[in-house]
Amino acid sequence: MKLIKGWWLPDTDTHFEHYIKDGGYQTVHRNTILNHIVMNKHTLKNCIDVGSHVGFWSKDFTKIFKHVYAFDPISDVRECYEKNITKDNYTLYPYGVGSEEKTIKVSYYPEETGNTHASEQGNLEIQVKRLDSFDINNIDYIKIDAEGYEIEVVKGAQKIIERDKPFIHIEAKKKVMVKQNITMNAIDELFKGINYKQVLSVKSELLYAPNEIVQL
């Protein structure tokens, strides 16, 4: 691994190296979304980071949440995560996350490690688990960056969502949605079905909240 302006990255990754050298990665996105959550949740407990990568978001999460449950199936980025996160209030799991427990293929690009996505023609096999299969409680916020697998992640977290009613944040990049044949209508219908509404949009980062919070 290599150290770029305070961030550990896999040696092969050039994509995120460019962003870091250019001033940081998604700093404005993080600040906007986390400020909204802090303003609407007076007491923050735990959060889930699906697609935690090297910890770009988790580093801030560990500062404001009691515990962070992070998930990433790629060993190279997990090693960097554990170097980047200096606090000890996290648990890092070596799994992908979805709606059922199974093994799937993903396309993994060493030079662009954040672009790992599910694909039948993938070059790597990973194990997928449901969030509801873990003993995780008191969740105030779920961040999902799963490169087109976001809907499946939400489907596999119905127990947590119904019980804790967390804010849910997904990344919805247009190029990823087109590649994975996902529409905004499908995403909106999913959240409508669990009584959630979109409350914030920062470029491709979308934040949803339970209807009862929106109406307060």
The range of the structural domain enclosing residue 112 comes to: 26-214
Copy the structure tokens of residue 85: 């996160």
Please give the pLDDT value at position 175: 66
Per the structure, the count of domains in the chain is 1
> For residues 210 and 146, which has the higher predicted lDDT (pLDDT)?
210
Residue 201 falls within a domain, yes or no?
yes
Residue 40 falls within a domain, yes or no?
yes
Sheet with 167-171, edge to edge strand ranges: 90-93, 67-71, 46-50, 139-144, 167-171, 205-210, 196-202
* Neighbouring residues of 73: CB distance < 8 A, sequence distance ≥ 6: 94, 95, 96, 106, 116, 126, 127, 128
**Model confidence pLDDT, tens digit, residues 71-121:** 999 999 999 999 999 999 999 999 999 999 999 998 888 888 887 877 788
Selection from 171, 140, 144, 167 nearest residue 156 by Cα: 144
Residue 124 falls within a domain, yes or no?
yes
**Among all chains, which residue has been given the structure tokens 């079905």?**
193
Q: What is the mean pLDDT of the chain?
A: 89
pTM (predicted TM-score): 0.91
**Among all chains, which residue has been given the structure tokens 């790992």?**
116
Copy the structure tokens of residue 13: 């990754």
**Model confidence pLDDT, tens digit, residues 45-77:** 999 999 999 999 999 999 999 999 999 999 999
- The CATH number of whichever domain residue 46 belongs to comes to 3.40.50.150
Residue 10 falls within a domain, yes or no?
no
Rounded-to-integer distance, Cα 74 and Cα 176, Å = 19
